[in-house]
Homo-oligomer: A and B are copies of this chain.
Amino acid sequence: MNNFLQHCRDLIGERYVLTDIDQQAVYLSEWRQRRKGKACAVLLPANTEQVAGLVKLCSERRIAITPQGGNTGLVFGSIPDSSGAAVLLSLKRLNQVRQVDIDNNTMTVEAGCLLNVIQNTADQHQRLFPLSLASEGSCTIGGNLSTNAGGTAVLRYGNTRELCLGLEVVTAEGHIWNGLRSLRKDNTGYDLRDVFIGAEGTLGIITAAVLKLFPKPTSVVTAFISLDNVENALQLLHLMQRYHADSLTAFELINSCSLELVLQHIPQVSRIFYEKTAYYVLLELSNTDTFDNSSRKLESSIEIAFNQALIRDAAIAQTLSQAANCWKTRESISEAQARQGKNIKHDVSLPISRIAEFVKVCDAALSTAYPGCQLVTFGHLGDGNLHYNVSPPIEISSEIFLEKQCEVNRVVHDLVHQFDGSISAEHGIGELKKDELQRYKSPVELAMMRQIKSALDPHNLMNPGKIF
């Protein structure tokens, strides 16, 4: 082991091989302090060649590697187990924007670049990099790619997978694959890029990527709408897509319970409608039209929705601060929940045509099994993705209710499965959901996943214990 550590030091420099427990701590704790791991060393390489050198060393000695980006994941995917046998390999020093190619609408970035650095760099070049999520100030693009992150702009721009044209990867054997292509069309063999995207570091280490950029919208119009049920929200979605097609860039659902939680716990957020309804929708149109044109078009489609009795009320934000208040409402739900106390979370997706029925059936099943439980339902309705969270009845403490976590998961996930949905829409599997994966994936699919894992990582050294 000492010999191994000395080789690591020779390769990347003494100060970048952390063996001191205090120095290691921040890398080995999940950010919500729900999980701690151990590592024989935390390694901080500076570039792709150093990553490849370290992986080769580990491969020769059969030492497992957990790669880590911003350590902002929600499924314990970037924390090693508690044996202390693995190394943690942080990509955070690979943080260069290697190239911005304006005329190709692409940007080549290293895995450790923070998402908001990438967003800002695009913006400075009058371009949009649309991936946007709550942790954008601390998550890295390598993590976003490895988990195929979702966020609030998937409706129009797709998941991280759809935003990437090429990858650079260090394979499990320590070879560097230069797949940094910046092409819109390339049909020369198997799609290795998409094998590594979403693989959660279990097949190799993504060290750099070519990202797609988009024209920067010239107008963004935000509206907050109140309505009675999920069915109407879905009808509104279809109506908005018919009238605005791709200009519709966000369509978020917020139920009454979520909204009231925010208003109770987040003082910066102000109430938009005084009449309370069961559900609300936050929607956004963005395009290259003027604000006035866009706003007028939105108004007329809202009027149609109103005449069809789909909605109760609607407010189109007229100022940046009104728009910010709408988004702050949506984005504060997690924080408001945390202030209220722990609850049981789900990150599910469903065919959009089946969401209304799913919510009805699942709400009923939970209310019967746990009378008085509070359903904190919100999410990216336009993508069929709900954060379907369950808070305890008022008279029961979080701690006692959380003992029911497995039971509640079973009710929700069994129904999701029955409705042809996914038990992990955007958070991945990591270590947290690997048992659930075994339960719901078909044996044929699991077998193929294992075949690919064995082919590309025969000694099971890349992030072992995750996904499988």
Which A residues contact B (CB, under 8 angstroms)?
101-106, 147-148, 150, 154-155, 158-159, 161-162, 171, 175-179, 181-192, 194-195, 197-199, 203, 214-215, 217, 234, 238, 241-246, 287-288, 349-354, 380, 383-385, 420-429, 433, 437, 440-442, 444-449, 451-456, 467
* Residues on the B chain within 8 Å of A454, using CB: 455
Q: Are B383 and A353 in contact (CB under 8 A)?
A: no
* Residues on the B chain within 8 Å of A187, using CB: 147-148, 150, 198, 422, 424-429
Would A444 and B175 be within 8 Å (CB), given that A245-B217, A245-B287, A420-B181 are in contact? yes
Q: Are B385 and A185 in contact (CB under 8 A)?
A: yes
Would A183 and B103 be within 8 Å (CB), given that A189-B437, A190-B452, A452-B190 are in contact? no
* Residues on the B chain within 8 Å of A385, using CB: 184-185
Q: Are B444 and A106 in contact (CB under 8 A)?
A: no
Q: Are B449 and A177 in contact (CB under 8 A)?
A: no
Q: Can you list 21 A-B pairs, Cβ within 8 angstroms, ordered by A?
A: A102-B353, A104-B351, A104-B352, A171-B448, A177-B444, A182-B420, A183-B384, A184-B349, A184-B352, A185-B426, A186-B349, A187-B426, A189-B441, A190-B198, A190-B203, A190-B448, A192-B452, A215-B242, A243-B288, A451-B455, A452-B452
Select one of B177, B194, B444 contacting A442, CB under 8 A: B177
* Residues on the B chain within 8 Å of A353, using CB: 101-104
Nearest residue (CB) in B for A217 is B245
Nearest residue (CB) in B for A204 is B448
Nearest residue (CB) in B for A162 is B162
Q: What 7 new A-B contacts, CB under 8 Å, besides A106-B351, A186-B425, A188-B424?
A: A147-B187, A175-B444, A184-B385, A190-B199, A190-B203, A191-B197, A243-B288
* Residues on the B chain within 8 Å of A203, using CB: 190
Q: Are A189 and B444 in contact (CB under 8 A)?
A: no
Would A448 and B181 be within 8 Å (CB), given that A215-B241, A217-B245, A467-B189 are in contact? no
Distance in Å from the Cβ of A445 to the closest Cβ of chain B?
Answer: 6
Distance in Å from the Cβ of A111 to the closest Cβ of chain B?
Answer: 18
Select one of B188, B380, B442 contacting A429, CB under 8 A: B188
The interface residues of chain A, by DSSP majority, are classed as: mixed
The 3 closest A-B pairs by CB, nearest first: A103-B353, A455-B455, A194-B194
Select one of B178, B350, B448 contacting A183, CB under 8 A: B350
Would A176 and B444 be within 8 Å (CB), given that A105-B352, A287-B245, A351-B101 are in contact? yes
Q: Are B288 and A242 in contact (CB under 8 A)?
A: yes
Q: Are B428 and A383 in contact (CB under 8 A)?
A: no
Q: Are A383 and B184 in contact (CB under 8 A)?
A: yes
* Residues on the B chain within 8 Å of A194, using CB: 191, 194-195
Q: Are A189 and B449 in contact (CB under 8 A)?
A: yes
Would A185 and B154 be within 8 Å (CB), given that A177-B444, A215-B241, A245-B217 are in contact? yes
* Residues on the B chain within 8 Å of A189, using CB: 429, 437, 441, 445-446, 449, 467
* Residues on the B chain within 8 Å of A162, using CB: 158, 162
Q: Are A445 and B183 in contact (CB under 8 A)?
A: no
* Residues on the B chain within 8 Å of A217, using CB: 245
Nearest residue (CB) in B for A240 is B215
* Residues on the B chain within 8 Å of A437, using CB: 188-189
Bound together, the chains give a CA A198 to CA B158 distance in angstroms of 20
Q: Are A191 and B161 in contact (CB under 8 A)?
A: yes
Bound together, the chains give a CA A341 to CA B349 distance in angstroms of 54
Nearest residue (CB) in B for A448 is B192
Nearest residue (CB) in B for A454 is B455
* Residues on the B chain within 8 Å of A176, using CB: 444
Q: Are B183 and A425 in contact (CB under 8 A)?
A: yes
* Residues on the B chain within 8 Å of A147, using CB: 187
* Residues on the B chain within 8 Å of A234, using CB: 103
* Residues on the B chain within 8 Å of A440, using CB: 188
Would A192 and B445 be within 8 Å (CB), given that A147-B187, A384-B184 are in contact? yes
* Residues on the B chain within 8 Å of A288, using CB: 242-245
Bound together, the chains give a CA A181 to CA B433 distance in angstroms of 19
Q: Are A192 and B449 in contact (CB under 8 A)?
A: yes
Bound together, the chains give a CA A235 to CA B185 distance in angstroms of 20
Most chain B C-beta atoms within 10 Å of own C-beta, residue among A103, A184, A246, A437: A184
Bound together, the chains give a CA A349 to CA B184 distance in angstroms of 8
Distance in Å from the Cβ of A235 to the closest Cβ of chain B?
Answer: 9
